[in-house]
Structure 1
């Protein structure tokens, strides 16, 4: 059933509708009014920088002092020997016929010709020579550089020389004059191929005719005996088996091998050596025995030659019987003089040798390794004689 609203209610509704419309109108009008935005912009004035390049001429005066390198000036030899020089010098070298002995003779002839002083050449052995010059028995001597560390250590010197070595009277003059390498040769039918096999052969009661290339108290003499003893063989054992061990020197040992009088030679020889060139020619089927790892370890570490002897090779073809690279040990020879020798004399002997290398190489080809400009570096920690040192300074070798 429909109920008719009262006039009062209708009137109120009409009023509300009118009010809502008016409010909506004004609200819409307010939303449409645009906002006013004020923007302030500050514009900095332009700054223009003008660069002006101005070139000026500047004169610089600089003084440069040039110091020329002075030309080395070597003191020439005196026309006659001064009265304070000795009348004769004794020069202890190596065994007769060895390259060292031949070179000693060539040096003697050269010095006598240039300085008018006689040098008497004597055969010797590297270890014995060092003892002799330390005692003042000779004025000049060869030795192997390998001996110097032993001579400086009393504990090592006494077993070798039977006494301590006083090196205060020993000075270095020059070196190396030759390189020396261990070389072991044997008859082609001798049935051993190592030092150990040789020792076993002898201990089995079989005779072996053995030699060292140097004289008694040479480096090869000591090394060979020590190696044999390492494997249980002494000279008495060799003799009881009917064999022998001799020390005739290199030239005689090689000759005896060619003549069939020796079975094996243990040598420390200059390379090349005229003796082994002869052996190669007259006994081309001669054989070699190499040093084994055990041999080398014993020599370098047990005996204490590490640093004094160095592992090296004889190249294939050095001699005809060297059919492959031959492992060995090497050292080199140095020339020593007494400390009390006159400075000007040692200066002139050093000059004579250094300025006549071609002549000396013709006498002994192994001398070709000698280099005057570096000679002073091979002193083996010995003091260089003042006379020799002054020559090296004058030549510009020592700065």
Structure 2
């Protein structure tokens, strides 16, 4: 009786916290004992009050604020992304840390655990209600050494600069100059950068020793965009590709010049062409490096295409796509017939120019596979912007004040 009762009782917050940490450790998102201790110690449930414990400790986002249409405009990030970014940031005891995007205060609490009593954390948010909520959550959790500030995160916090670590929990199309200026020369700046279209990566920038900043690796992750005080994100501009809402394309600002909603509405109802690529991937292999390549190569960079189950035969629930006029092509894959555990990538084209668009994308995938797939790509903010050389894997991403480069480190660029 006693054993049955124990087996059926709800898990406690502490048990769920350890179970979550165990999963993140097994998945490789937690890599150091310091981040592991923080994730096992800080009570996430106190930062998302009002939700069930199982929701608080699920490996998923928890929305904490919506706009008038019910669209989430602030959320507690997915724990695996939180852990991944803490590992990228490499916080040490005694560090002074600036966080852009306070949200619930949970990440600031983790940062405070990592910096220890000799450190200091300042976290900034643009919304007064979020600032008040983060302060209350931190107080409830008994966290000290954190100052929650109301302000425009783009400006940083100059009164307490320089910082040893600066981290943004909001997406940025351009890295604000203020963040770079307020970083200790030996410091580390972690930013979720939207590079082109929907392709976004968290990049830890460090000094290159020549007045610029270079990424120490990068990971795929997307965040709600940095926004001005007193504003909310623009309403969704998703394009209905079937006429029923079963499949939608989400253009970004840099897609709008080449993405015509009227021409694309219902395009997935047209006949389509499938173009194989000759590029093979393992069952658990990510497509993120191919996404990055296409983001740099395409005039209309990749966008997220999302669909409900069985919306269109063979269409993945989520994939990348691009458009040209009234035509669209998206990435797909099929299991090989050799009995192995691998897939061949292909592109599916729709609309009058869909076959040509799919063929163009297949050629790009084959080029990436042949010349660049086995070489890492470095994202940088150089002091002197080099000349782009796309055929050799060097790209310059235009920005108003801080252009970035993406360079595949082949023999050409060593």
What is the TM-score of this pair, normalised by structure 1?
0.29
Q: Quick one: higher RCO (CA 8 Å, sep 6+), 1 or 2?
A: 1
Richer in strand (by share): 2
Query: Which structure has the greater CA radius of gyration?
Result: 1
What is the TM-score of this pair, normalised by structure 2?
0.28
